[in-house]
Structure 1
């Protein structure tokens, strides 16, 4: 939900341009944070898939060895 701002006279030290820049920076940082989180999740998922594939290959090799020896 976006806040609504009116064109009233702003009081205080901060100008409206500075406040607008701060709002834009906050919005951009949220987008960057979300994209970083998504890339971390993707990398973790790839790593888990790689480990699972390796475990399956080793277990299949061990099973084939047991069948050949027995």
Structure 2
């Protein structure tokens, strides 16, 4: 038995077209997983930026109110 880069075992009874299909499915699922992770990171980054912007705006507004009152 020969192990491949995908950690699947190649056996003599499997056809080469079946092996190619399995490798392609594994590669496709890895790409889908990586793209999901990337999109989650981007979404989280956008939320953090949005929260930071809101905090800065509220802080500046509070400082402006304090300066006007004084």
TM range (shorter): 0.7 to 0.9
- Spell out structure 1 runs of 4+ moving beyond 4 A: none
Structure having greater relative contact order (Cα 8 Å, sep ≥ 6)? 2
Q: CA RMSD in A?
A: 1.5
State the aligned residue count. Answer: 62
Where structure 2 has 5 or more consecutive residues not aligned to the other structure, the ranges are 6-10
Where is the strand percentage greater, Structure 1 or Structure 2?
2
- TM-score norm. by structure 1 comes to 0.79
- TM-score norm. by structure 2 comes to 0.79
Where structure 1 has 5 or more consecutive residues not aligned to the other structure, the ranges are 4-9
